[in-house]
Structure 1
Amino acid sequence: MPYVLGIDLGTSSLKGILMNEKGEVIKTKSATYPIDTPKQGFSEQRPEYWVVALENVLTGLSVDVADFGDELIGISFSGQMHSLVVLDKNNTPIYPAILWNDVRTTKQCQEITERLGDRLLEITKNIALEGFTLPKILWLQENEPEIWKKVAQIMLPKDYLGLWLTGKSHTEYSDAAGTLLLDIENHRWSKEIADAFGVDRSILPDLVESTDQIGVLKEELKARFKINTDVKIFAGGADNAAAALGVGLINEDMGLISMGTSGVVSSYEPKIADYKGKLHFFNHTIPGKYYSMGVTLAAGNSLNWFKETFGKGLTFNELLADVYTVEPGSNGLLFTPYIVGERTPHFDSNIRGSFLGISAHHQLKHFSRSVLEGITFSLRDSKDMMEKTKGKKFQKLISVGGGAQNPDIMQMQADIFNCEMVRLTVEQGPGLGACMIAAYGCGLYTTLEEVTKVFVHYKEATFLPKPDHVKKYNTIYGIWKDIYGATADISHRLINSNEEE
Structure 2
Amino acid sequence: MIHTTSNMAENYYLGLDLSTQQLKCTLINENHDIVLEEAINFDKDLSEFGTVHGAIVDDNVVTSPTLMWVKALDLLLTRLKDSPYVGSIRGISGAGQQHGSVYWNKEGLEQLSNLDPTKSMYEQLDNAFSIQQSPIWQDASTTTECRALEKSVGGAEALAKLTGSKAYERFTGNQIAKIYHNNRKAYDETARIGLVSSLLSSLLLGKFGPVDAAEGSGTNMMDINSHKWDSKLLKQCGGDELQEKLAEEPVEGGEALGKISGYLVKRYGFNANCRVMPFTGDNSATLVSMNLSEGDCVVSLGTSDTVLVYLKKGAAEPTTESHLMAHPTDPEGFMGMLCYKNGSLAREYIRNSYANGSWDEFNEYLINKEAMAEGNIGFYYWMQEIIPFAKGIYRFEDSKAVEEFKDKTINVKAIVESQFMSMRIRLERMGGNSIKRILASGGAAANPNILQLLSNVLGLPVYRQQGMNGASLGGALLAKFGTVKNASFEDMMAQHPSAGLELICKPDLEKTKQYISHVGQFTDLEKKIVQ
Give the match's secondary structure for 1:188: coil
Amino acid at match of 1:143: N
Aligned-pair CA distance for 1:422: 1.0
TM-aligned CA distance change 1:461 to 1:46, over 3 Å = closer
TM-aligned CA distance change 1:138 to 1:487, over 3 Å = closer
CA deviation string 1:157-195 (max 9, x = no partner): 221221222134311101111111111111111112123
Match of 1:397? 438
Of 179, 194, 197 in structure 1, the residue corresponding to residue 234 of structure 2 is 194
TM-aligned CA distance change 1:115 to 1:21, over 3 Å = same
CA deviation string 1:335-354 (max 9, x = no partner): 2233434322x3x2346432
Of 91, 97, 100 in structure 2, the residue corresponding to residue 80 of structure 1 is 97
Alpha carbon RMSD of aligned pairs, Å?
2.6
Match of 1:116? 153
Match of 1:27? 36
Aligned: 1:280 with 2:289: no
More displaced, 73-82 or 11-20?
A: 11-20
Match of 2:3? none
Match of 1:498? none
Distance (whole Å) between structure 1 residues aligned to residue 404 and residue 280 of structure 2: 51
Aligned: 1:430 with 2:471: yes
Amino acid at match of 1:193: L
Give the match's secondary structure for 1:276: coil
Give the match's secondary structure for 1:410: helix
Match of 1:54? 73
Of 425, 428, 445 in structure 2, the residue corresponding to residue 381 of structure 1 is 425
Match of 2:177? 138
Give the match's secondary structure for 1:94: coil
Aligned-pair CA distance for 1:254: 0.5
Distance (whole Å) between structure 1 residues aligned to residue 436 and residue 421 of structure 2: 19
> In the alignment, is the contact (CA less than 8 A) between 2:204 and 2:261 conserved in 1?
yes
Distance (whole Å) between structure 2 residues aligned to residue 432 and residue 107 of structure 1: 37
Match of 1:214? 257
Match of 2:346? 302
Aligned-pair CA distance for 1:271: 1.8
Distance (whole Å) between structure 2 residues aligned to residue 457 and residue 37 of structure 1: 39
More displaced, 29-38 or 43-52?
A: 29-38
Match of 2:514? 472
> In the alignment, is the contact (CA less than 8 A) between 1:24 and 1:455 conserved in 2?
no
Distance (whole Å) between structure 1 residues aligned to residue 164 and residue 219 of structure 2: 11
Amino acid at match of 1:3: Y
Distance (whole Å) between structure 1 residues aligned to residue 98 and residue 448 of structure 2: 31
Amino acid at match of 1:210: G
TM-aligned CA distance change 1:311 to 1:230, over 3 Å = same
More displaced, 204-213 or 350-359?
A: 350-359
> In the alignment, is the contact (CA less than 8 A) between 2:378 and 2:393 conserved in 1?
no
1:314-393 equivalences under 5 Å are 314-326=357-369, 329-344=372-387, 346=388, 348-350=389-391, 352-357=393-398, 363=407, 366-387=410-431, 392-393=433-434
Aligned: 1:93 with 2:129: yes
Amino acid at match of 2:16: I
CA deviation string 1:205-257 (max 9, x = no partner): 322112110011112211110234521111131111111111223x3310111
Q: Once the two structures are aligned, what percentage of the paired residues are identical?
A: 22
Aligned: 1:45 with 2:81: no
TM-aligned CA distance change 1:16 to 1:230, over 3 Å = same
Of 181, 186, 194 in structure 1, the residue corresponding to residue 221 of structure 2 is 181
Aligned: 1:418 with 2:459: yes
Aligned-pair CA distance for 1:53: 1.2
Runs of 4 or more consecutive aligned structure 1 residues displaced over 6 Å after TM superposition: 358-362
TM-aligned CA distance change 1:98 to 1:361, over 3 Å = closer
Give the match's secondary structure for 2:484: coil
TM-aligned CA distance change 1:455 to 1:236, over 3 Å = farther
Structure 2 portions without partners, runs of 5+: 1-9, 110-127
Match of 2:306? 264
Aligned-pair CA distance for 1:14: 1.2
| Count of residue correspondences | 480
The TM-score with structure 2 as length reference comes to 0.83
Distance (whole Å) between structure 2 residues aligned to residue 359 and residue 230 of structure 1: 62
Structure 1 portions without partners, runs of 5+: 490-501
Distance (whole Å) between structure 2 residues aligned to residue 173 and residue 446 of structure 1: 20
More displaced, 356-365 or 429-438?
A: 356-365
Match of 2:139? 102
Distance (whole Å) between structure 1 residues aligned to residue 92 and residue 405 of structure 2: 57
Of 171, 174, 178 in structure 1, the residue corresponding to residue 211 of structure 2 is 171
Aligned-pair CA distance for 1:486: 3.7
Of 198, 203, 213 in structure 1, the residue corresponding to residue 245 of structure 2 is 203
Give the match's secondary structure for 1:4: strand
Amino acid at match of 2:488: T
Aligned-pair CA distance for 1:447: 2.6
More displaced, 320-329 or 289-298?
A: 320-329
Aligned-pair CA distance for 1:463: 2.2
Match of 2:120? none
Of 151, 158, 164 in structure 1, the residue corresponding to residue 190 of structure 2 is 151
Distance (whole Å) between structure 2 residues aligned to residue 144 and residue 367 of structure 1: 42
Give the match's secondary structure for 2:80: helix
> In the alignment, is the contact (CA less than 8 A) between 1:424 and 1:456 conserved in 2?
no
